[in-house]
Amino acid sequence: MMKPINVGLCGTGVVGGGTAVVLKRNAEEIARRAGRPIVITMAATREPERAREVCGPDVVITENVFDVVNNPDIDIVVELIGGTTIAKEIVLKAIENGKHVVTANKKLLAEYGNEIFAKAQEKGVMVAFEAAVAGGIPIIKALREGLTANKIEWVAGIINGTSNFILTEMRDKGAAFADVLKEAQALGYAEADPTFDIEGHDAAHKLTIMSAIAFGIPVQFDKAYLEGISKLEAQDIGYAQELGYRIKLLGITRRKPNGIELRVHPTLIPHKRLIANVDGVMNAVLVKGDAVGATLYYGAGAGAEPTASSVIADLVDITRLATADPENRVPHLAFQPTKMANLPILSIDEVETCYYLRINAQDKPGVLADITRIFADASISIDSMLQKPAPEDRADIIILTHLAVEKNVNGALAKIEALDAINGKVVKLRLEHLA
């Protein structure tokens, strides 16, 4: 056996602890695969007692992360601290010092990935980030290597466990968002401040990374469209179900002739689709390639050992490839850095999709005719319609449309909302057939 690869661990929380445990437990198997042992020799942490417990007696424990990054004996730095302040400093310093980096930090890569990958390229080191997207599911590897023959057409993912759990509970119990959120917090699935998860930030960070790899474009998180689940009403989940759809918080990125769609929002999906049946805190990513068709990747999107599984796979990859010439390694964002495409990210107004619309109207003759005329004038074609009695002699009219451009739909809705018979704003949700 060759001499071990020395790993410096920054952060010994849930994922850091899981990484230490799995690496130790499967040490022999991992060494057989990697061609040499992979050993954590140093760990930086704010909780030395816990670190000692998970890392064992042989690991040097420090409270200063820069001890790890500046240690000449460390080959690979694993960044599991999160955030974009100290983590960014650690990663850039490790690269500067000629060390490879493994990170699970989706926010860091979605916001500063271009700078980080350029620096790594310049220094001839690797930055691996399988654990940053969908926890233990090897989706980065699938997109970047497994599907490399394909022109990727679109990627659609349930990539935030917290919001998927909330939507699953709302559907199963017919409960209101606020009540289910409290339950999720009590179970530890949602943070005290859940904004990052429920408003789509976390999903958009992950989607930004997948989009860059799928289409060979720079990461552009600031151009992503985000719409969360906090305004979703139980009745729409019920109506969707009646029409044969499930509502999921979906991250969607699609290649179009005029640019790339990059959007996260609650989405109706036909209930027969496998991905519509991904429930609770599980994650799933559906990828459509021109040669392969649709492929689905399902599994745990978070948790100590599932995420550690991805961190360690990256450690093995780097161990195998560390000796390869930098230009013969897999490029960070799948395409050669000099061949990145300069495709625009489309604004939500330019997006083309199908729509679920709920219109609250007076229940009297002629109202439906007015509504359908407005859609016809805007060249928006109706797929199906459902009418339900609502309180005070009103009706809920639910309309599903065929493909339409968002700005045309918004224009039509403004005209419908201006009709005397219409009460309040129209509820608008997007619908994807994912066929």
Match 């759809």 to its residue by tokens. Answer: 245
Return per-residue pLDDT of the chain as tens, 435 residues: 588 999 999 999 999 999 999 999 999 999 999 989 999 999 999 998 888 988 889 999 999 999 999 999 999 999 999 999 999 999 999 999 999 999 999 999 999 999 999 999 999 999 999 999 998 999 999 999 999 999 999 999 999 999 999 999 999 999 999 999 999 999 888 888 999 999 999 999 999 999 999 999 999 999 999 999 999 999 999 999 999 999 999 999 999 999 999 999 999 999 999 999 999 999 999 999 999 999 999 999 988 999 999 999 999 999 988 766 777 777 777 677 878 888 999 999 999 999 999 999 998 889 999 999 999 999 999 999 999 998 888 999 999 999 999 999 999 999 999 999 998 999 999 999 998
Look up the pTM and report it.
0.94
What is the DSSP code (8-state) at residue 146? I
pLDDT, tens only, 166-187: 999 999 999 999 999 999 999 8
Contact 265, 253 (CB under 8 A): no
**Element holding 427 (H helix, E strand):** strand 427-431
* Packing angle, helices 406-417 and 367-377, rounded to 10: 150
Strand runs labelled E in 113-180: 127-128, 152-158
Kindly name the residue from 107, 206, 248, 288 that is annotated as catalytic: 206
**What stretch(es) of the chain map to CATH 3.30.70.260?**
351-431
Residue 435's pLDDT is: 85
Fold of 139-300: Dihydrodipicolinate Reductase; domain 2 (3.30.360)
Contact 260, 217 (CB under 8 A): yes
Residue 2's pLDDT is: 82
Contact 23, 6 (CB under 8 A): no
CATH of 351-431, one of 3.30.70.260, 3.40.640.10, 1.10.630.10, 3.40.50.300: 3.30.70.260
What span, in angstroms and rounded, lies between the C-alpha atoms of 159 and 281?
A: 9
Judge whether 206 counts as a catalytic residue.
yes
Residue 341's pLDDT is: 85
Residue 182's pLDDT is: 93
Give residue 216's region: left, alpha or beta (phi > 0; psi -120 to 50). left
Looking at domain 5-128, does it have CATH number 3.30.1110.20? no
What span, in angstroms and rounded, lies between the C-alpha atoms of 364 and 383?
A: 23
Contact 156, 252 (CB under 8 A): yes
For 193-251, the DSSP string reads: S-HHHHTSHHHHHHHHHHHHHHHT----GGG-EE--STT--HHHHHHHHHTTEEEEEEE
**What stretch(es) of the chain map to CATH 3.40.50.720?**
5-128
What sign has the CA pseudo-torsion 336, 338, 343, 347? positive
Match 């999903």 to its residue by tokens. Answer: 203
